[in-house]
Amino acid sequence: MKKLFNSIYYLLLPIIPDKLLVKLKFRHHIGYPINLRNPKTLNEKINWLKLNDRTSLHTKCSDKYLVREYIENIIGEDYLVPLYFSSKNPKDIVPENIPDSPSIIKANHDSSGGIFVHDKSKINWKDVQQSFEKRLKSNYYLVSREWQYKNIEPRIIVEKLLQDKNGGIPFDYKLHCFNGKVRMISVDMGRGTDQHYRNWYNTDWEREKFKWSSPKENGKSTDPSNEDLEKPKTLKEMIRLSELLAEPFKYVRIDWYDVDDVLYFGEITFHHDGGFRPIIPVIWDEKLGNELNLFSSND
């Protein structure tokens, strides 16, 4: 029955209006009807922005290839992860076009992660090509209704795989900006493992009193760790750079990697988890929503 329901759902997906799908998904994931006329909670406001705040700059900044130009223009190219190769043709993803050093292969137009390449001889390149051939034909907008993904021209990009001095994957710092100012910071550690945790801090590096977790593949969630993380030496710089990048937007999440005290830009996200994940305790969804101003004197 579930398989039949999913088949019907994906068949009808392209013809479901944006607002209706947002209402249905919000009720399903959050548990109450969304108020789009007078949004109060942070999740409600994120979904309001999803439907009403749509510009070409949103599309550019959501494109993992074109956003590099925005980063270079606003804060400089030094913060960009080295780009090794890009192509719109999956058949170009062959060993000859991939460096011998560790790299990651990903698409510019979705949020499905990437393929880590540590040793080219151990990669099934035909499988990689087939995987990206399928991904390049998908439009993430249809599922998420995040308009900024709708008009991205799909391509494959190959970047340097960031690793710390011990060969580990660096922590992922996500700075959530309200009206151009950093409000809170989430830190993802152990990504891709059962030990994937997400801690929440304010700009003074004090623990927040809420959690905003994502589902993991094992059915659990990216809840905070019991252990505190040391404040990064690059925190002030992360905040300064994030606020420069966030200036044109109401709400935006700017992601960073700290590799042995050297900062690299990760990505820009406009609707954290699509605005479809509960903030716990629920009172914090409204508290945070009160801090985000959807309308300014310039609107």
Per-residue pLDDT tens, the chain, 299 aa: give them: 666 666 677 788 889 999 999 999 999 999 999 999 999 999 999 999 999 999 999 999 999 999 999 999 999 999 999 999 999 999 999 999 999 999 999 999 998 789 999 999 999 999 999 999 999 999 999 989 999 999 999 999 999 999 999 988 899 999 999 999 999 999 998 877 778 899 999 999 999 999 999 987 777 899 999 999 999 999 999 999 999 999 999 999 999 999 999 999 999 999 999 999 999 999 999 999 999 999 864 45
- The predicted structure's pLDDT at residue 113: 84
Count of residues making up the chain: 299
Beta-carbon count within 10 A of 115 CB: 15
- Integer Cα distance of 187 and 205 in angstroms: 11
- The predicted structure's pLDDT at residue 2: 62
- The predicted structure's pLDDT at residue 297: 46
Q: Residue 105: beta bridge partners?
A: 115, 158
The Cα-based distances of 218 to 194, 198, 207, 211 in angstroms read: 7, 15, 26, 19
How many angstroms separate the first and last alpha carbons of the chain?
48
